[in-house]
């Protein structure tokens, strides 16, 4: 069974009421939505994801409690309108786990990972937008270097961009990983293509813009006294959350419940190494 990241910490942080309305903006494989629904009696979870394939798996994974969950195909930027159309706002709690779904990472034809060869896709919603191959093959060398530096926080971005443009056309994940490694050899345990893959994925899916759009509408979706739980996995995401929460705190719009981010326990990391970089921030709406 799929186990949610920071499961007990999220459930405690949301202070779930059995009759409450809860929004899970990142259904993924359904773990957090299931956890919340199990604690409801007359309440309901509205569980959204921009990946239609993930939603189908989440529905299946939620089993007996799926009747307490309504699944919604939506990106962050369209979530408020989707919920308003259902007349369910404001909610008593809101959750977003910004990590990439395990299903996406472990399905080769989704193109998110270089662990197995597959088409260089990386779209969370495969019905929309350019693929990672489009960006790798048709972006100028300078733009590609800037992209890898900004979104991947990769200091060797210019060298990598030069290698990618010189190796075009690039069609598969393994090909791209090999090209990056040839330009920027491994210096530690982390594969040298990791940050380049992160940068392309974030660009393909407009991830930071989507997070900003979500935050712009978030407070209007949650009732006074309601809790917000946000899990990030890298510094760019966490920086956006930290700054926005601090701003809201100064404006007396929220009470910050996590003076320091909550991280997974040693036991959780041992059982689920992918949780290692997770950070949870909590606020209560005023």
Per-residue pLDDT of 105-133, as tens digits, reads 889 999 999 998 999 999 999 988 899 99
Looking at the chain, the domain(s) classified CATH 1.10.150.170 span 112-205
Residue 106: what pLDDT? 86
Domain 7-103+207-285: give its CATH architecture.
3-Layer(aba) Sandwich (3.40)
Please identify which residue in the block is written with the tokens 């090909």: 175
Residue 1: what pLDDT? 52
pTM of the model: 0.94
pLDDT digits (tens, 9 = 90+) for 24-37: 999 999 999 999 99
Q: Which band of pLDDT confidence, cut at 50, 70 and 90, is reported for residue 38?
A: very high
Looking at the chain, the domain(s) classified CATH 3.40.50.150 span 7-103+207-285
Q: Quick one: which of 51, 59, 28 has its CA closest to 231?
A: 28
Average pLDDT for the chain: 95
Between CA 247 and CA 4 the distance in angstroms is 29
Cα end-to-end span (Å), the chain: 36
Which structure tokens are listed for 263? 């991280």
The pLDDT of residue 2 is above 70: no
Domain 112-205: give its CATH architecture.
Orthogonal Bundle (1.10)
Residue 186: what pLDDT? 86
| Omega before 169 within 30 of 0, i.e. cis | yes
Which structure tokens are listed for 178? 């090999």
pLDDT digits (tens, 9 = 90+) for 95-108: 999 988 888 888 99
Q: Which band of pLDDT confidence, cut at 50, 70 and 90, is reported for residue 44?
A: very high
Given the DSSP bridges, would you call strands 21-24 and 222-232 parallel, antiparallel or unpaired? unpaired
The helix or strand, by DSSP H or E, that contains position 255, with its residue range, turns out to be: strand 254-256
State the average pLDDT over residues 231-246: 97
State the average pLDDT over residues 46-51: 97
The torsion defined by the Cα of 138, 140, 145 and 149, in degrees rounded to 10, comes to -70
Cβ neighbors of 170 (< 8 A, separation 6 or more) are 120, 133, 136, 137, 164, 176, 179
CB burial of 79-117 (b: ≥16 within 10 Å; e: otherwise) equals bbeebeeeebebbbbbbbbbbbbebbeeebebbbbbeee
pLDDT digits (tens, 9 = 90+) for 264-278: 999 999 998 889 999
pLDDT digits (tens, 9 = 90+) for 146-182: 999 999 999 999 999 999 999 999 989 999 999 999 9
Q: In 10 A of CB 18, how many CB atoms? A: 9
């Amino acid at each position: 069974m799929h186990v949610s990241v920071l499961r007990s910490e999220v459930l405690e942080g949301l202070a779930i009421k059995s009759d409450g309305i809860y929004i899970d903006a990142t259904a993924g494989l359904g773990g957090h939505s299931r956890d919340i629904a199990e604690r409801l009696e007359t309440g309901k979870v509205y569980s959204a994801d921009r990946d239609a394939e993930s939603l189908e798996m989440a529905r299946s994974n939620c089993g007996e409690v799926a009747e307490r969950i309504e699944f919604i195909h939506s990106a962050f930027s369209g979530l408020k309108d989707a919920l308003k159309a259902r007349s369910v706002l404001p909610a008593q709690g809101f959750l977003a786990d910004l990590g990439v779904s395990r299903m996406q990472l472990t399905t080769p034809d989704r193109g998110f990972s270089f662990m197995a060869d597959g088409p260089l896709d990386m779209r969370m919603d495969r019905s929309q937008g350019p693929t990672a191959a489009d960006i790798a093959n048709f972006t100028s060398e300078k733009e590609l270097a800037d992209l890898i530096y900004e979104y991947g926080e990769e200091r060797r971005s210019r060298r990598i961009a030069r290698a990618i443009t010189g190796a075009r056309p690039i069609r598969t994940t393994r090909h791209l990983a090999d090209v990056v490694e040839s330009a920027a050899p491994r210096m530690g345990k982390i594969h040298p293509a990791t940050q380049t893959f992160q940068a392309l994925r974030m660009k393909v899916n407009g991830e930071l813009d989507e997070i900003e759009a979500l935050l712009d509408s978030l407070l209007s979706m949650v009732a006074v006294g309601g809790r917000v739980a946000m899990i990030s996995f890298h510094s760019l995401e966490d920086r956006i959350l930290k700054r926005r929460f601090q701003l809201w705190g100064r404006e007396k719009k929220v009470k910050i419940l996590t003076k320091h981010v909550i991280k997974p326990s040693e036991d959780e990391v041992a059982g689920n190494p992918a949780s290692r970089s997770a950070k949870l921030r909590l606020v209560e709406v005023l």
